[in-house]
Structure 1
Amino acid sequence: MSTTDTQAEWIDIASELRGYLARPATAGPHPAVVIFIEAYGVNDHFRSLAKRLAGAGYVALVPDLYHGHVYDYADSEHAIAHLRSLNDGQVMGEVDATLDLLATHPAVAGGKPGILGFCMGGRYAFLTHGARADRVGATAAFYGGGIAPVQDRLGRVPLLDRIPSMQAPLLLHYGAKDGSIAPDEHARIVEALSAAGKRYGIEVYPEAGHGFFCDQRASYHAGAAAESWRLTLDFFARHLKD
């Protein structure tokens, strides 16, 4: 299925929360995936990503955690300032609303949805995987910062204490040349997941840096992006599709 065989639109998730929803043109029902954004908002890249997932047979929903604010990739200062303003509790309330909508959407199959996140959204994917474990079918997180730092430069709370609650399979993607997520953070995450007996996989791409998946960023790495996308689709197909 190609993106030309999909439908996409902005929808109201809750009274003060909208989202970008893409789905296959066929009636379905289809498995669903929630996509969490980077620190730059629901931009062209994430709308395109939702359509790519729809083309692969999923109902993809991107909750607008920035409530209409979108920043250019060159404007890291304002994007990071907005990221700092987010509150984990408020975001999880918006996650609940998103999951509630998918649970009743006529195009969505009855199984638990997948979670997919990038950068800031990778951390929220990891948080959702633990905090809403009974509502998640599988999670893939790309270079999620703030999961297990010794000291987070943005003041975010580490998430290793969420691991014991996790139930579904988890897939983590990192670039070895990511200057914002050091190898020792990978190690702390892996150690905690293994010690808790969780099912997970980790992929580290030797030549890739932070943001390697996004073709609108200077750090884009075509090889790592293609391989990680293939692995993610395989992962979701195994755990979300009948």
Structure 2
Amino acid sequence: MSNANTQAEWVDITPELRGYLARPPGEGPYPAVLVFIEAYGVNDHFQSLANRLAEAGYVALVPDIYHGHVYEYSDSDNAIAHLRGLNDEQVMGETDAALDLLVGHPAVAGSKPGVLGFCMGGRYAFLTHGTRADRVGASVAYYGGGIAPTQDRLGRVPLLDRIPSMQAPLLLHYGAADGSIAPDEHARVAEALSHAGKRYGLQVYPEAGHGFFCDQRASYHAGAADESWRLTLDFFASHIKE
């Protein structure tokens, strides 16, 4: 999916893990962003997203933590079943390998990439922010489910206890009409971050539901997607561009 303004390819992160890497043309060096997927795999949407980041001046890497499995957006049952089988410790190990590849890439500037995640990936961006704090320059999490529920329907462990370790700025995007992440969860996340004295921003978009950023989903909300993308690029420009 390369174009005149980007170079993109699949790369081997480890012998067992590959990733989709997109970057601006030329030698760089450029700032980098690690991207975590939704529950549907490294599909066309996430390849396009990596290219959008490359067009904005970033080296973007999407690790394939689903190991080749891709699900249609209409196939939520199988996608969620795959999500249930993920192990946080294994995903964080794969995250370490992906971060190693990024910071060692000759086109990358700096040793602390940004981290960006959506849905399931929003939770992993938050988890990376807390458990790999010395490796992260800034993080953005879109509607990350499972961060602070009173009871997670997928059995995931809440992540508020990771907040004290966080160092870099964090930006959170939520839809006000997201039936899977209630407003009281936004409040718990904000209270914990504020109590711990962390630098963060939390944006809530009226009438936007879960998955509002993805133009391949029925829940796509163009206004929220456009505004959140501008804020995300401004956020990364402020915190990880050299």
Q: TM range, normalised to the smaller chain?
A: over 0.9
Partner of 2:228: 228
Tell me, in whole angstroms, the C-alpha distance in 2 between the residues paired with 1:205 and 1:153: 24
Tell me, in whole angstroms, the C-alpha distance in 2 between the residues paired with 1:37 and 1:104: 22
Partner of 2:55: 55
Partner of 1:126: 126
1:77-96 counterparts in 2 under 5 A? 77-96=77-96
1:105-144 counterparts in 2 under 5 A? 105-144=105-144
Q: What's the TM-score once normalised by structure 1's chain length?
A: 0.98
Equivalent pairs counted in the alignment come to 241
Q: Deviations over 1:30-51 (max 9, x none)?
A: 0000000000000000000000
Equivalent AA in structure 2 for residue 132 of structure 1 = R
SS at match of 2:173: strand
The alpha-carbon deviation at position 202 of structure 1 amounts to 0.3
Tell me, in whole angstroms, the C-alpha distance in 1 between the residues paired with 2:148 and 2:102: 30
Q: Which moved more, 1:101-110 or 1:187-196?
A: 101-110
SS at match of 2:4: helix
Partner of 1:28: 28
What's the Cα RMSD here? 0.9
The alpha-carbon deviation at position 26 of structure 1 amounts to 1.6
Does structure 2 retain, via aligned residues, the 8 Å contact 1:111–1:240? Answer: no
Tell me, in whole angstroms, the C-alpha distance in 2 between the residues paired with 1:83 and 1:57: 31
Percent of aligned positions with the same letter in both sequences? 82
Tell me, in whole angstroms, the C-alpha distance in 2 between the residues paired with 1:15 and 1:75: 29
Does structure 1 retain, via aligned residues, the 8 Å contact 2:139–2:169? Answer: yes
Partner of 2:100: 100
SS at match of 1:4: coil
Equivalent AA in structure 1 for residue 139 of structure 2 = T
Does structure 2 retain, via aligned residues, the 8 Å contact 1:3–1:55? Answer: no
Pair 1:43-2:43 in alignment: yes
SS at match of 1:69: coil
The alpha-carbon deviation at position 111 of structure 1 amounts to 3.6
Partner of 2:187: 187
The alpha-carbon deviation at position 4 of structure 1 amounts to 2.8
Equivalent AA in structure 2 for residue 172 of structure 1 = L
The alpha-carbon deviation at position 207 of structure 1 amounts to 1.1
Tell me, in whole angstroms, the C-alpha distance in 1 between the residues paired with 2:206 and 2:81: 30
Tell me, in whole angstroms, the C-alpha distance in 2 between the residues paired with 1:197 and 1:3: 43
Distance of aligned partners of 1:3 and 1:165 in 2 relative to their CA distance in 1, 3 Å threshold: farther
